[in-house]
Amino acid sequence: MNASLSTFIRKPGRAASLANVVVLGQADPTAKRLRLSLFLSRISAGFPSPADDYVESRLSLDEHFVQRPEATFFLRVQGDSMVGAGIHDGDLLIVDKSLEPRHGSIVIAEVHGELTVKKLYRKNGEIALLAENPAYRPIPVNEESQLVIWGVVTEVVHTLR
Amino acid sequence: MFALVDANNFYVSCHRAFDPSLKGKPVVVLSNNDGCCVARSNEVKALGVKMGTPWFQLYDLAKQHGIIALSSNYCLYGDVSLRFMRILAQFSPVQEVYSIDECFLDFTGFNYIDMTGYGQTIRQRVLQWLGLPVCVGIGPSKTLAKLSNYVAKKREQHQGVFDYSRLSQQEQDELVSSIEVGEVWGIGRRLSERLARQGIETVKDLRDADTKTLRRQFSVVVERTVLELRGVSCLDLEEVAQAKKEIVSSRSFGKLVVKLDDLQQAVASYTSRAAEKLRRQHSVAGALQVFLQTNPHKTGELQYHPNILIPLIEPTADTGLLVSHAMRGLKRIYKPGYRYQKAGVMLMDLSGAKTSQPDLFSHVSTQDRQKSQRRMETLDHINRKMGRGTLRLAAEGFQHTWKVRTDYPSPCYTTRWAELPIAYAK
């Protein structure tokens, strides 16, 4: 640790003590930093960039994946009963509680006090929660009133590294 | 016409929304440091547990009935509240966020629709989108909307929505004569005792009382309440929250504190927090109060509850200055030999930062003032970006042995990646 440094940053969620202080970095006046600007032509002496008129705002994943921010929540998957639907252990689920569950929807259901990810089967008056892995049996639901659907899964985020 | 939407047992409901295993069980949420009950599920209310009961008094009852205690989780409540208010904004162009779990909506011009049905739609949507049960009270004044909310909550036959304006004169009379005057918005316990001495015991008594007499004996506020109960709207919605007149930052310690050192750290960090709030509302403080408390529940111990008021020559919002004043005050009131349970600061005599009057004989130059302002802006900016407390005064210390105790923590389900709810795939 460089003794001359006076700037510290605390790691979030930890009590501050010198033991877990992280050095932000040395204040080096010669260090160069790349800055990307929304406008491409900043040099007044040059020609304006022909792309300037076409600059649009950056793409936002939030906007793309979250239609109703008030009703959207993220959940973490634990277990492998849904691998057939492309949902793996540790994946992130985007769940929209405002959507109506339909036959075939991937849903979060409340089962025995836990939030469980399942595929909803609802056809010809028959209701069940299905796994997407032959090793797991479906959970039959006797009465619709007994089934509490917490939300509808709209996306899965699977990290590859 | 107004509606008041109020969440049922808000803190408990927030936990249940993400942890279904808590449904149907007796649950309490405890205040900072797990001191006393600040929210109770209906099952706990049915056991006769009153709001504010110290948790240690409930150990036996909790064991007997399996009461589940949870430390308060303000990051969760804050996020759910924000979502709640945004959903409600869909139902009216004008809304007043009255508290973390209460919101007034302006229903002016809604008379042509079925407002009870509309209220049910609100309830249904908040329940589905957030998992939060709420009640809706509707009335021609804010006071009546609030009273209707009470009715919606207490009387199950209304299924969570009550519209006062639909009642006939006779139904109105019957209703208000069945409710005690203390349930009226703004009529506290002391006031209702005084009213009772005048023979005013029910809401009807108050509504039909003579306004001029009440105004003379009590205040114009009581008179206004009476008019509101008669359906004359006197209070408008406040869309923008009023700037606070004083800012308090105080906490109970996780364990009793004896050393001045620890108290200094605690008071310094409370002062910083208060100063941050002060700057957020663009105010400066003209005075500051520091107070200490020993634990009043420990009857065998020496008690000491001192406080000191420090008037500032020049109003300021500078954390460094405020902390140094607070330290001066703390040293004056601190006495060794006591075990302190709580400390706090209150910033008072607040005024707008733009309009505040500097002292004519002040030795602080305009340049210094501008420097201080820039320093604070930078501080706030960094802490907003990197998280609260990233940059702080050394006086706030590092060890924080006095820090808040949370014996029954729960995840910040919606605000921390590491604490997301688990979707079991088994």
Question: Do B422 and A87 lie within an 8 Å CB cutoff?
Answer: no
Q: Return the minimum-mean-pLDDT range out of B4-18, B79-93, B390-404.
A: B390-404
- Chain B contact set for A131 (CB, 8 A): 425
- Please, which pLDDT band fits residue A6 given cuts at 50, 70 and 90? very low
Question: Do A15 and B20 lie within an 8 Å CB cutoff?
Answer: no
d(CA A136, nearest CA chain B) in Å: 7
- Please, which pLDDT band fits residue A10 given cuts at 50, 70 and 90? very low
Residue B226 sits at φ, ψ, to 5 deg, of -60, -45
B402 CA to centre of own chain: 24
What's the pLDDT at B245?
Answer: 79
What's the pLDDT at A22?
Answer: 52
Q: How far apart are CA B12 and CA B75, in angstroms?
A: 14
Token pair, residue B352, equals 């707008």
- Chain B contact set for A87 (CB, 8 A): 425
CB B319 within 8 A of CB B275: yes
User: Over chain B, what is the mean pLDDT?
Assistant: 91
What's the pLDDT at B256?
Answer: 87
In the predicted model, is pLDDT for residue B386 greater than 90?
A: no
B residues 177..216 contacting A (CB < 8 A): none
Q: Any chain A CB within 8 A of the CB of B128?
A: yes
Question: Do B129 and A71 lie within an 8 Å CB cutoff?
Answer: yes
Question: In chain A, count of helices (H) and strands (E)?
Answer: 1, 9
What's the pLDDT at B81?
Answer: 95
- Given B386, B390, B423, which is nearest A77 (Cβ)? B423
Q: How far apart are CA A158 and CA A90, in angstroms?
A: 8
Cα distances (angstroms) measured from residue A158 to each of A60, A88, B3, B11: 18, 7, 44, 33
Question: Do B398 and A89 lie within an 8 Å CB cutoff?
Answer: no
In the predicted model, is pLDDT for residue B33 greater than 80?
A: no
Greater pLDDT, B314 or A2: B314
Greater pLDDT, B187 or B359: B187
Give the catalytic positions of A in this structure: 81, 118
What's the pLDDT at B324?
Answer: 93
What's the pLDDT at A11?
Answer: 45
Greater pLDDT, B366 or B145: B145
The stretch B226-238 carries a mean pLDDT of 92
In chain A, the domains with their CATH numbers are 5-29+67-157 (2.10.109.10)
Q: How far apart are CA B344 and CA B308, in angstroms?
A: 11
Full 3-state SS string of chain B? CEEEEEECCHHHHHHHHHCHHHCCCCEEEECHHHCEEEEECHHHHHCCCCCCCEHHHHHHHHHHHCCEEEECCHHHHHHHHHHHHHHHHHHCCCEEEEECCEEEEECCCCCCCCHHHHHHHHHHHHHHHHCCCEEEEEECCHHHHHHHHHHHHHCHHHCCEEEHHHCCHHHHHHHHHCCEHHHCCCCCHHHHHHHHHCCCCEHHHHHCCCHHHHHHHCCHHHHHHHHHHCCCCCCCCCCCCCCCCCEEEEEEEEEEECCHHHHHHHHHHHHHHHHHHHHHCCEEEEEEEEEEEECCCCCCCCCCCCEEEEEEEEEECCHHHHHHHHHHHHHHHCCCCCCEEEEEEEEEEEEECCCCCCCCCCCCCHHHHHHHHHHHHHHHHHHHHHCCCCCCCHHHCCCCCCCCCCCCCCCCCCCCHHHCCEEEEC
CB B126 within 8 A of CB B6: no
Residue ranges of domains in chain B? 2-162, 167-230, 247-396
Name the fold adopted by B247-396: Dna Ligase; domain 1 (3.30.1490)
The stretch B6-18 carries a mean pLDDT of 97
- Please, which pLDDT band fits residue B135 given cuts at 50, 70 and 90? very high
- Please, which pLDDT band fits residue A58 given cuts at 50, 70 and 90? confident
- Chain B contact set for A148 (CB, 8 A): 20
Q: Return the minimum-mean-pLDDT range out of B19-33, B46-60, B205-219, B364-378.
A: B364-378
> Residues B361-400, buried b or exposed e (16+ Cβ, 10 A)?
eeeeeeeeeeebeeebeebbeebeeeeeebbbbebbbeeb
pLDDT in tens, A118-139: 999 999 889 999 999 999 999 9
Token pair, residue B357, equals 């009057």
Q: How far apart are CA A148 and CA B327, in angstroms?
A: 55
What's the pLDDT at B313?
Answer: 82
Give first-to-last CA distance, chain A, whole Å: 31
> Residues B410-426, buried b or exposed e (16+ Cβ, 10 A)?
bbbbbeeeebbbbbbbe
CATH code assigned to B167-230: 1.10.150.20
The stretch B373-391 carries a mean pLDDT of 84
Q: How far apart are CA B14 and CA B211, in angstroms?
A: 42
Most confident of B110-119, B124-133, B265-274: B124-133
Greater pLDDT, A10 or A76: A76
Q: Return the minimum-mean-pLDDT range out of A34-38, B28-32, B203-207.
A: A34-38
Q: Any chain B CB within 8 A of the CB of A84?
A: no
Question: Do B398 and A17 lie within an 8 Å CB cutoff?
Answer: yes
Question: Do A113 and B23 lie within an 8 Å CB cutoff?
Answer: yes
Instruction: Please state whether beta strands A72-79 and B422-425 pair in parallel, antiparallel, or not at all (unpaired).
Output: parallel
Token pair, residue A64, equals 């793309």
Question: Do A73 and B423 lie within an 8 Å CB cutoff?
Answer: no
What's the pLDDT at A43?
Answer: 53
pLDDT in tens, A70-114: 999 999 999 999 999 999 999 999 999 999 999 999 999 999 999
A residues 111..150 contacting B (CB < 8 A): 113-117, 131, 136, 148, 150
Quote the ipTM score. Answer: 0.75
Q: Return the minimum-mean-pLDDT range out of A3-7, B35-39, B289-293, B378-382.
A: A3-7
Cα distances (angstroms) measured from residue A93 to each of A83, B6, B79, B295: 13, 30, 19, 47
Task: Express as a percent the part of chain B with pLDDT over 90.
Answer: 66
CATH architecture entry for B2-162? 2-Layer Sandwich (3.30)
Q: Any chain A CB within 8 A of the CB of B20?
A: yes
